[in-house]
Amino acid sequence: MSEQTPTTSASPTGDLPGPVRLRVAPSPTGDPHVGTAYMALFNLAFARQQGGRFLLRVEDTDRARLVEGSEQQVFDTLRWLGLTWDEGPDIGGPCAPYRQSERLTTYAPYVERLLAEGHAYRCWCSTERLAAMREEQQRLKQPTGYDRLCVGKTEEERRALPGFSETPVVRMLVPDDVETGFDDLIRGRMSAPRPDDQVILKADGFPTYHLAVVVDDHEMGITHVVRGEEWVSSTPKHVLLYRWLGLEPPRFAHMPLLRNENKSKISKRKNPEARLTWFEEEGYLPEALVNFLGLLAYPPAQDAEGHDVEVFTFEEFSQRFDWADVNPVGPIFDLKKLDWLNGVHIRELALADLTSRLLPYLQRAEVLGPNPSLGELARLEQVVALIQTRMAHLTEAADLVAPFYAADDAVEVADDARAQLKDDAAATLDAALAALGDLPDEHDGVLGSEATWRAEAIEAALRTALVEGLGLKPKFAFGPLRTAVSGRRVSPPLFESMEILGKGATLTRLATLRATL
């Protein structure tokens, strides 16, 4: 594998656990973005492969954009996906605290050092002046950026000029000849435009992302910074801060952005699937989503015949992971592919496992109550065995399962199911009632007989009565029965459904529909 040897970063806290240390650092500003899981997956895969540590850090210095409950959503969704961390705000660790808002005293000495050594300066420009400056630069088609009015001035000197603010910020003093190149594990040697004098400490005393990320990554011993390519332009600022502060920078890997089919960036404002919580709501399995994210920007393994192996576990992905194989071109977020993968993973689940996973969705749809009986649960497992191959989403189960828990004399018949009933539906139901009425059930003292209430016997009796007796084609013979039993045009296998319902329930449902014709 290439580029697998880490560059060790000295840490003020002494030796930290793990030969490599990686992190994901979301901001709690709303529903977690699917990109958070995407980044977490690649960070965690490499950390586990190398026997290292994976950290979760909450970057909450932008106080105006904080959303209550968002942090807990990050914890919940990443744990749902199985992308768990070794250190973080909720579990602690040797570098605690892991929330930036709780680390304000940590950043102050770094700011003071940059000021003292002439790498930073205080800026007293008001927001109104800065807005007017940018507007004028845009009007003149000049590059936008701070014009350094405050450089070299004392507070008194700056106060005498227009656009003064009582509360200053602190800015980097970026040299005109600053080196903007850096090495990237995915993209090789890169460069970015020269940055302007970036604010590193805001007027409210909170650091900006650029200072906080450098300080925190250093203090937490981060060896590899893996993040989206939108941060490429910021990396020279961070490398410069590392150099000024005498710190060893981590290795950088900039992942390609997730894109829609029209090549635009996926956003929570325009794409519901950009919300990480959406996937659980829509009935996706966490292992299917992890599988899908692992196919984005990374090639599948090959089998012995050279065919792509697109279905894999996190462990299999981690074992073969190599930064050199990451495709830098932004991958298309293809929900059809995810649907296919979800169906594959659903079919691979053990029956009891799938049943337990479906239960919350069925309760949410009020198919089952909050405390289902043992009998209801036993029936559910029988029904799930019939529908396991018929679902792409767990949410699809409610419509398939609901008829099995409806009152037998009150099955709701869908309009499209009733509309397909032909003129001979009444005669068909009469013949079915007669044939099934003669079929003994398990309580008739003939257990073990081929004529007991089993799917095979039910099918044989109905084919004899309807196909052979009435001369109907199976499609037309069994349609009215399906409508009576399930109320749907499309349902789980008919004869197996009748077996689960039992003889009495089945006859009641057939007779109920017959009475309406």
Handedness of CA 434, 438, 441, 443 (dihedral sign): positive
User: What's the CATH number where 502 sits?
Assistant: 1.10.10.350
Is there a single domain that holds both residue 436 and residue 306? no
Contact 203, 123 (CB under 8 A): no
If DSSP codes are grouped into helix, strand and coil, which group holds residue 490? coil
Residue 94 lies in a domain: no
First to last CA, the chain: 71
Is there a single domain that holds both residue 384 and residue 470? no
Residue 125 lies in a domain: no
Cα 267 from Cα 245, distance rounded (Å): 36
Buried b (16+ CB within 10 A) or exposed e, 42-75: bbbbbbbbbebbbbbbbbbbbeeeeeeebbebbb
Handedness of CA 500, 501, 503, 507 (dihedral sign): negative
Residue 438 lies in a domain: yes
Report residue 322 as tokens. Answer: 């190599």
Residue 422 lies in a domain: yes
Residue 509 lies in a domain: yes
Q: Is residue 268 annotated as involved in ligand binding?
A: yes
User: Where among 384, 405, 426 does a domain terminate?
Assistant: 405
Report residue 155 as tokens. Answer: 């507070």
Report residue 23 as tokens. Answer: 């992190």
The packing angle between helices 374-387 and 351-364, to 10°, is: 110
Dihedral of the alpha carbons of 360, 361, 365, 367, in degrees to the nearest 10: -70
How high is the pLDDT of residue 451? 58
Is there a single domain that holds both residue 214 and residue 344? yes
How high is the pLDDT of residue 137? 95
User: Where among 374, 389, 405 does a domain terminate?
Assistant: 405
User: What's the CATH number where 64 sits?
Assistant: 3.40.50.620
How high is the pLDDT of residue 61? 85
Determine the Cα angle at 330 with ends 327 and 335, to 5°. 110
How high is the pLDDT of residue 442? 67
Residue 291 lies in a domain: yes
Q: 332 pairs with which residues across the strands?
A: 259
How high is the pLDDT of residue 446? 41
Is there a single domain that holds both residue 381 and residue 427? no
How high is the pLDDT of residue 4? 43
Instruction: State which residues of the chain have pLDDT below 70.
Output: 1-14, 442-451
Contact 207, 100 (CB under 8 A): yes
How high is the pLDDT of residue 309? 96
Residue 492 lies in a domain: yes
Is there a single domain that holds both residue 303 and residue 445? no
User: What's the CATH number where 374 sits?
Assistant: 1.10.8.70
157-to-112, 114, 123, 152 alpha-carbon distances in Å: 21, 21, 12, 9
- Name residues whose C-beta falls within 8 Å of residue 430's C-beta, 6 or more positions apart in sequence: 514
If DSSP codes are grouped into helix, strand and coil, which group holds residue 88? strand
Is there a single domain that holds both residue 491 and residue 419? yes
- For 410, the enclosing helix (H) or strand (E) is none
Active site residue 268: yes
Is there a single domain that holds both residue 301 and residue 311? yes
Is there a single domain that holds both residue 300 and residue 362? no
Residue 111 lies in a domain: no
The secondary structure of 138-181 as a DSSP string is HHTTPPPS---TTTT--HHHHHTSSSEEEEEEEEE---TT---E
12-to-6, 19, 156, 358, 416 alpha-carbon distances in Å: 18, 16, 38, 49, 70
Look at the chain and report how many structural domains it folds into: 3
Is there a single domain that holds both residue 385 and residue 446? no
Contact 319, 329 (CB under 8 A): no
Is there a single domain that holds both residue 401 and residue 363? yes
User: Where among 348, 369, 389 does a domain terminate?
Assistant: 348
Q: What is the pLDDT of residues 286-320, one digit of tens each?
A: 999 999 999 999 999 999 999 999 999 999 999 99
Is there a single domain that holds both residue 311 and residue 220? yes
DSSP assignment letter at 199: E
Catalytic, out of 141, 237, 268, 422: 268
- Name residues whose C-beta falls within 8 Å of residue 500's C-beta, 6 or more positions apart in sequence: 379, 382, 383, 386, 404
Report residue 160 as tokens. Answer: 């005498």
Domain that holds residue 438: 408-515
Is there a single domain that holds both residue 398 and residue 271? no
How high is the pLDDT of residue 392? 96
